[in-house]
Amino acid sequence: METAASSVQTRSNQSNLLRWFVYVVIKAGLSILCRVEASGLETVPERGPMILISNHTGSLEIPLVLAWLWPRPLSGWAKIETWDKPFFNWLFNLWGAIPVHRGEADMAALRAAFQKLDEGHLFAVAPEGTRNKNGKLLRAHPGAVLLALRSGAPILPIAHWGGENFLPNLKRLRRTDFHIRVGRPFVIQGGERIKREERQQVADEMMYQLAALMPEEYRGEYSDMSKATTKFLKF
């Protein structure tokens, strides 16, 4: 007779097998549709706790980065509206994504992120909070700062570009050049001494680390690198 523990293990093995199959299909498909040039992904740790910060241009980078980092355990926030669509509901649950209510202090989503980090997951965050449709960086929100301060987890910047051309290229039956760069890990120093009004400066310092990895034309709000500071960052 199957015990409760063995039943849980069986379901876990089945989920891992299904997850592996989905990632293989995604990686194979995107390798056909895109020319992926990834520099530094091999330096990403096998396990967390670590916060991965990235720019957000659309939906392409999510499955691509997940597939290229597999089998590293990776989670992240996604807008709760995503779960309204049956296919994405299934897919994001398979990925272990956490639904978040945008525009409000979603403490349940924050606690779930802490738990993922405690379990050794890498946790992906897009500090911009929404998609930049032209690939140029938007001004960051300080939500990722709060996660980093309260968890104490180190932060790793991962920048990408080219994905904003995916749909136009797909319509023209062209492959998309997708580039990934990985920066230096850092921690936020200052902890509880960082005041609420200073969190935006911390968020900007984090974003300048992303901007430094990207071609100048993609830096957007963070184009002026002379304003980049590292007052709150320790490498």
Q: Which helix (H) or strand (E) holds 68?
A: helix 61-69
> Using the 8-state DSSP alphabet, how is residue 222 labeled?
G
DSSP reduced 3-state for 76? strand
E strands within the chain?
Answer: 34-39, 50-54, 74-79, 98-100, 122-125, 155-161, 176-182, 187-188, 233-234
CATH number (domain holding residue 65): 3.40.1130
pLDDT of residue 190: 84
pLDDT digits (tens, 9 = 90+) for 2-57: 565 555 556 666 778 898 999 999 999 999 999 999 989 999 999 989 999 999 99
Residue 204's pLDDT band (boundaries 50, 70, 90)? Answer: very high
- Domain span holding position 179: 4-234
What's the CA gap between 77 and 54, in Å, rounded?
A: 12
Q: Indicate the number of domains in the chain.
A: 1
Cα three-residue angle 207-146-234, rounded to 5 degrees: 55
pTM, to two decimals: 0.91
**Does residue 34 contact residue 177 with C-beta atoms inside 8 Å?**
yes
